[in-house]
Structure 1
């Protein structure tokens, strides 16, 4: 079993520049087969020598604090681009990911951060995704690594971010029994994500759409 089932909904992203992508997901263990691309995405992304930690920056300007249990961690590997807007997009993208996992850990889709960093179809898909864990009484432990970030701006308030995840060191855990499923690493341990973000009136870059390709060769080592 994969640590994360692929997102359930088939989501389509459309930008003014006529960028389009779609992908299908599943709530079972079947890897997604659709290959997603975003034309024109930056290709010069670099890995950071100092991965960003799981937890959010200290809550400020009304931003909620995100907390993880001691046995789970997300690691985000990217270097700042030097462009203030792109760097803000990248940070809020990682916080959007953390907000979904925090909902899993807290056992609720009513957490403040989930709706703060996700909206529209991405929020709906995230709620469905979290509920898939909750219905099975699952959580996860270990470390998930996110890397190979690429960001492209679209106008003054839109952006596209693609990245990979490595779930080979994170595992499902049954909350009732405490049993951890130490599944072997396979191609399905690696996922390619395509996301769209929009800056809201408060200056937060919210994820509005997300599509994933589990088993993507792009993300496999």
Structure 2
């Protein structure tokens, strides 16, 4: 379920697939990964939160109950930091929703990624869909930390994920696979976000490293 690390200039949400793709023979570099996650089968409530840009119509993103992408303690008393957390979660949810919907050209993904990284995000999604894979299981994201840039237009977000119960399922054969034996399920992520003219915090880079966090 994790994404292999890319350079910071190309990274963003599409910074690629390590865990589940490694399990299915599709990824390299098992020590450095990137990911995103969120949700349940209902529309995300963050689109209506006052901490986010209030006049922006955000895409409705739904995930099925077969893939439980959750966020633990993704809250802040600071409204600007909360807006960063909210949009970062939606970007993650959009990516996995695109995989599940078999939609590499997802408009929701484009909404939450900067133009420079959308191609990489599409590549990451296609690394699943081109192999007829979808995602199932549980993927919690936890221990988020936000650092704001002094100019208020940029932010850095770090968090961890636990891929212990995250798996892929082949759409044609129904074959289910998880991480290879011996793979550390914990992945630490570092995300850069930029606030666009609409007030949406978009992912501009993502880097991850396996085994650098725990619960």
What is the match of residue 72 of structure 2?
Answer: 77
State the secondary structure of the residue aligned to 1:188: coil
What is the match of residue 57 of structure 1?
Answer: 45
> Segments of 4+ in structure 1 off by > 3 A?
23-35, 52-55, 58-61, 182-188
Contact 2:72–2:141 (8 Å) recurs in 1? yes
What is the match of residue 204 of structure 1?
Answer: 200
Could you say if the C-alpha distance between residues 97 and 133 of structure 1 is closer, same or farther in structure 2, counting changes exceeding 3 Å? same
Structure 2 segments unaligned to the other structure (5+ residues): 49-55
What is the match of residue 219 of structure 1?
Answer: 213
Q: Does 1:125 align with 2:110?
A: no
How much does 1:199 deviate? Answer: 0.9
Structural RMSD (CA): 2.8
How much does 1:186 deviate? Answer: 4.0
How much does 1:171 deviate? Answer: 0.4
Could you say if the C-alpha distance between residues 173 and 63 of structure 1 is closer, same or farther in structure 2, counting changes exceeding 3 Å? same
Could you say if the C-alpha distance between residues 34 and 101 of structure 1 is closer, same or farther in structure 2, counting changes exceeding 3 Å? closer
How much does 1:10 deviate? Answer: 2.4
Give distance in 2, aligned partners of 1:162 and 1:71. 26
How much does 1:188 deviate? Answer: 3.4
What is the match of residue 41 of structure 1?
Answer: none
Contact 1:99–1:113 (8 Å) recurs in 2? yes
- After the TM superposition, which of the residue ranges 191-200 and 73-82 deviates more from structure 2? 73-82
How much does 1:122 deviate? Answer: 3.4
Please report the TM-score for the alignment, with normalisation by the length of structure 2: 0.78
